Chains A and B, each alone.
Chain A
């Protein structure tokens, strides 16, 4: 029998993994009793239900693969660059300040799409930096570090 990797199958696998992970990680917390629950009691319930839901979906989608479609394409390029842009922002905002972080955010996120000229990009970077500094630092008086020094 050929295994059909449908959306429902993958969702089930993901849910099952999260459920099992919750059970395993929750092992270290005290269970307590129903009348006096410890921090591990509720996570154990959630993890168990989650694992069962995942299992149900995996079994059901294996038996009825026609009920769900497969994922046709993944937007790897936008995904990688958008997430990288946000992550780099988080690394820069405290050490290098707002201006560097925003410039990096706009430049990296630009790589996610393919359109637009270099001149437009320069205008975007300038505009975004001015908006960010103008609104958050001067408009709202949020004490953000501006420059790297």
Chain B
């Protein structure tokens, strides 16, 4: 049993006292920022990335991953108690979770969200362990054409599944790819789009783009609106869900896990989509759909499970193919590269202790989350009372120093201010930043593989369709584009996304 050997190696790594501490620190921090509205996992990881440079790669990845799935989890607490999603993926939990809280059933809602998350997290992690190695083995055979088509598909997926039209999403993806062009062209050594600035010879650093686009622009928007919070803390009395609650929830939990796991594997689709899809499914399957929106426990159990399952299975394309499935995953890949590890299918074989240690740590982390969250829910909610005017200077200080220390470059900080402006304009124009960031990251990889594929085929574009795998990826991408033109499908998508 190779898998058992791998897992025992993984648990050996994850259970070392230092890595347990990193895991704990990660989930603790993740829950904390998940609870705080306006501070997402992406910003936190971007800002804290420099803090992990000194750690061994296993410890750094375990901690960053902990922040990530901890935040996916913490977001549900605020959704239920304050009707304010800590993360966008928790938006759908607000609908029925907050209603349950108003009916005095906040305890069971929190408990079901926790149970669902843990079940989904564990199953999702199991999937990584099972699917990762065979997928990685296939990916090792990928050539330039397959990689090009796969990444193109990922870009189209992320463009199609955001709010707004496909054209707008694609605009954002291509816009990101254009900003990714800046820097020295690896093949010719020529500086492109650097405007003669030395600070741009290596291109824009990913941390710079992420901090500007997500941290700075969100601070500006948050300062423009006053956050009204109606905290229902006094009502968390009885945490135990009743037997009927559990009976009503176990199927939605499993269905949500299934939906989340599948959507999480597809590169470019998000947790938010998974939670919305699960909510829509539960309502459709329910004998009495009118209960939804009025405190139906299925409306908490399903989406929360889907959200967490997707959070875990996002790691599958990220770790096995080296293709980030979301902006946060891209940051984790960036962290890998900073530690001198090239992301891709070879990571599993060349750094088994890293891969399996990370997988094992996710089980441990998911259990830690329940222990952390349920008994301490009152403590977490009290953090909601921290006024935003104390928070944003802290975010700014950490971001600016963090950006500066990545390359010890003052111009990086100035570039981040520029991306803050760009991000703000995007936010005001309802342009989703997710495809942009994916385009920015994948752009250079797409160009490299596009050039290599055509170099090998002497300029013959048929190379992208003669390889069966590449043809399948392209067919999915164009099929999705065609599907989005069908008015009915587009309406259904808009409806599913808007319902939150």
Min Cβ gap B312→A in Å is: 30
The answer to whether B413 touches A131 (Cβ under 8 A) is no
The answer to whether B174 touches A53 (Cβ under 8 A) is yes
Given known pairs A53-B167, A87-B414, A90-B410, the reply for A18 and B175 (CB within 8 Å) is: yes
The answer to whether A75 touches B459 (Cβ under 8 A) is no
Partner of B178, one of A50, A83, A87, A132: A50
Q: Give the complex CA separation of A89 and B457 in angstroms.
A: 50
- For A41, give the chain B residue with the smallest CB separation: B451
Q: Give the complex CA separation of A35 and B429 in angstroms.
A: 39
The answer to whether B167 touches A35 (Cβ under 8 A) is no
Is A91 part of the binding interface, using a Cβ–Cβ cutoff of 8 Å?
yes
Which residues of the other chain, A, contact B221 by a CB distance below 8 angstroms? 75
Is B129 part of the binding interface, using a Cβ–Cβ cutoff of 8 Å?
no
The answer to whether A90 touches B413 (Cβ under 8 A) is yes
Given known pairs A8-B168, A53-B174, A82-B420, the reply for A42 and B451 (CB within 8 Å) is: yes
The answer to whether A22 touches B455 (Cβ under 8 A) is no
Is B177 part of the binding interface, using a Cβ–Cβ cutoff of 8 Å?
yes
**Residues 216 to 232 of chain B near chain A (Cβ within 8 Å):** 216, 219-221, 223-224
The answer to whether B451 touches A110 (Cβ under 8 A) is no
Please, how many residues of chain B have a CB less than 8 angstroms from a CB on the other chain? 66
The answer to whether A105 touches B216 (Cβ under 8 A) is no
Q: Give the complex CA separation of A106 and B392 in angstroms.
A: 9
The answer to whether A128 touches B394 (Cβ under 8 A) is yes
Partner of B455, one of A10, A36, A56: A36
Q: Give the complex CA separation of A131 and B401 in angstroms.
A: 11
Q: Give the complex CA separation of A53 and B164 in angstroms.
A: 14
Q: Give the complex CA separation of A135 and B51 in angstroms.
A: 9
The answer to whether B178 touches A47 (Cβ under 8 A) is yes
The answer to whether A140 touches B396 (Cβ under 8 A) is no
Is B483 part of the binding interface, using a Cβ–Cβ cutoff of 8 Å?
no
- For B451, give the chain A residue with the smallest CB separation: A37
The answer to whether A109 touches B396 (Cβ under 8 A) is yes
Which residues of the other chain, A, contact B447 by a CB distance below 8 angstroms? 42
The answer to whether A42 touches B171 (Cβ under 8 A) is no
The answer to whether B429 touches A112 (Cβ under 8 A) is no
Contact code string B427-447 (vs A, CB < 8 Å = 1, else 0): 011110000000000010001
Min Cβ gap A64→B in Å is: 11
Q: Give the complex CA separation of A78 and B393 in angstroms.
A: 13
Contact code string B389-406 (vs A, CB < 8 Å = 1, else 0): 110111011011100110
Which B residues fall within an 8 A CB radius of A? 50-51, 54, 164-165, 167-168, 170-171, 174-175, 177-178, 181, 185, 187-188, 190, 192-193, 216, 219-221, 223-224, 387-390, 392-394, 396-397, 399-401, 404-405, 410-414, 416-417, 420-421, 424-425, 428-431, 443, 447, 450-451, 454-455, 457-461
List 12 contacting pairs A-B, 8 Å CB cutoff, sorted by A.
A25-B193, A29-B185, A30-B190, A34-B461, A46-B181, A53-B167, A71-B429, A82-B220, A86-B216, A90-B400, A94-B410, A112-B220
- List 15 additional contacts besides A93-B413, A144-B401; criterion CB under 8 Å: A11-B430, A26-B193, A29-B185, A35-B460, A39-B188, A53-B171, A53-B174, A54-B171, A75-B220, A75-B223, A86-B399, A101-B400, A109-B396, A113-B392, A124-B390
